[in-house]
Amino acid sequence: MPGHNLKALGADLKVISNASDELSQLIFRKGYTTPREFALVSAAAKAIAGQMKSLVKISEQIVRAAEG
């Protein structure tokens, strides 16, 4: 079993957070999207949000299991 690499885990979580922040800044720029681009970005955002909800549920289950 590999050792606990908390720095790597923290870095992965930071990448997720930073990507979300960067997308938000880009998407909300005035005049950024055409209607087609908006539809594409909207669909991608919904898919990502669904995946993130699943990840949050899994994380909560892991925390509950660890707390016993």
CA distance 26 to 11: 22
Q: pTM of the prediction?
A: 0.56
Q: What pLDDT tens digit does each residue of the chain (68 aa) get?
A: 456 676 777 777 777 777 777 777 777 777 767 788 878 877 888 888 888 889 889 989 999 999 97
From first CA to last CA, the distance across the chain in angstroms is 22
